[in-house]
Homo-oligomer: A and B are copies of this chain.
Amino acid sequence: MAKTDKINYSCPSGFPEFLPGEKRLESYLMDTIRQVFERYGFTPIETPAVERLEVLQAKGNQGDNIVYGLSPILPPNRQAEKEKAGDTGSEERALKFDQTVPLAAYIARHLNDLNFPFARYQMDVVFRGERAKDGRFRQFRQCDIDVVGRGKLSLLYDAQVPAIIAEIFEAINIGDFLIRINNRKVLTGFFASVGVAAENIVSCIRIVDTAEKVGEVKVKKALKEIGLSEYQVEKVGDFTNIKGSVDDVLDKLKSMTETLDNSEVLTQGISELETVISGVINLGVSDKRFCIDLSIARGLDYYTGTVYETTLIGHEALGSICSGGRYEELVGTFIGEKMPGVGISIGLTRLMSRLLKAGILESFAPTPATVMVVNMQEDLMATYLDVSQKLRRSGMNVITSFDSRGVGKQLQQADKQKIPFCIIIGSEEAAANMCSFKDLRTGEQMKVPIAGLAGVLKQRLVQ
């Protein structure tokens, strides 16, 4: 067979793919995340990979992202057709770059068929024309939840978010983590109340948001550079140094408002934060899993209230592994309705690839099969097929070997794929309705009746 020379069959740069053991790990993570989302009543949706370009670009939606436009390419044998028998490409379309703009479009498209508050999850891949050399992916999976109200939305939905985050990361068992909670109104309110001009507040928040990375000295310098007074910089220092238990932080914040003018927004933010924290406590989230962190702001300008970041303790360099917040004007834009929402996103592809590299997660075995029925004698194939089907019907994943090489080679094949059990049946065993099984993890070999095989293997699997 001739090789098709010169074809570059590698993945396009920035478009990664996984080996089977990695894909199995991803499936497991997705199943776990999905299960937690559903526990809280979030329902799945999936929007097309492709949206109209005007949707992706409406109201500055595209942000800084490069998106991928689509252009139909006819096959060589149909060039003469001028696309008559297919997509003419007359609609400008592009691949989605996040799940939020499509959520807004989805809600507009199905407004009367949805129940509000609409709590949905979505685990699709999205596409961004990132610089590939930064190790960023151009296609990656995001696991998002959002709950969206019409007109208003209880703050208790904000309180559920940390409970969901905690449950997910406890379930996937990647070590200790800390969910850091803040409220944008606390930040903007504070800056307003120390007299920072409205147009400077966003810059101040951005600077404060970098504190953990650059340190306090640089933050103060940067704040001075954008025009804050000595007094204001001092106050910012006091503010971001408020630490302690959630009760301590709330108390210190409240006492701070007493000495400040113009503190309505700050007071509102503190009140919201207090409601959210109280809900988180009532939901039984362990207090070692969450804190109030007044320095976090989330860069994204659309957050208006609660914001979240999640840090994996001991692996702070990974950055936030799950973030989000509350927004007012994000998903109602297409229909001109106020639709407050709160949501989070787990960047699964990036998270998994980094956790694998850091050795925090390990690939799964390359096959879901836990049993291989060995082909010892071709003339017993009917028995091998029958035993395989019996095991499958009892819920096991089974490979029947059709390999004509010796038993040793087949056991090697099983071992290479990390299949724990091999079933070996010769004429004598077959005649007695018996079989031998070998546990490749321990090297043990045992003879058992075929009728009891599934029970024995399943018991060993859970040990």
Contacts and interface: CB of A to CB of B under 8 A. Distances in A.
A429 interface: no
Given A43-B368, A49-B127, A115-B417, 20 more contacts: A2-B336, A3-B333, A4-B334, A9-B52, A10-B52, A15-B50, A23-B43, A23-B46, A26-B46, A27-B44, A41-B398, A49-B139, A62-B75, A62-B76, A66-B87, A83-B129, A114-B366, A115-B367, A279-B385, A282-B385
Q: Which of A8, A113, A402 has the most CB of B within 10 A?
A: A402
Contact of A4 (B129, B336, B396, B413): B336
A114 to B, nearest CB: 7
B66 A75 contact: yes
A257 interface: no
Nearest to A396: B39
16 contacts: A9-B108, A12-B48, A12-B50, A48-B139, A49-B49, A49-B139, A67-B73, A68-B70, A68-B87, A115-B417, A160-B400, A163-B389, A282-B381, A282-B385, A283-B385, A284-B389
B115 A19 contact: no
B11 A109 contact: yes
A336 B386 contact: no
B44 A129 contact: no
A63 B227 CA distance: 64
Going nearest first, the 9 A-B pairs with the smallest beta carbon separation are A3-B336, A87-B129, A154-B402, A41-B399, A15-B48, A41-B369, A38-B368, A20-B43, A66-B86
A130 to B, nearest CB: 6
A373 to B, nearest CB: 10
Interface in A34-75: 38-55, 57-59, 62-75
Report how many copies the assembly holds.
Answer: 2
A116 B13 CA distance: 27
A20 B386 CA distance: 40
A421 to B, nearest CB: 13
B50 A139 contact: yes
A47 B64 CA distance: 27
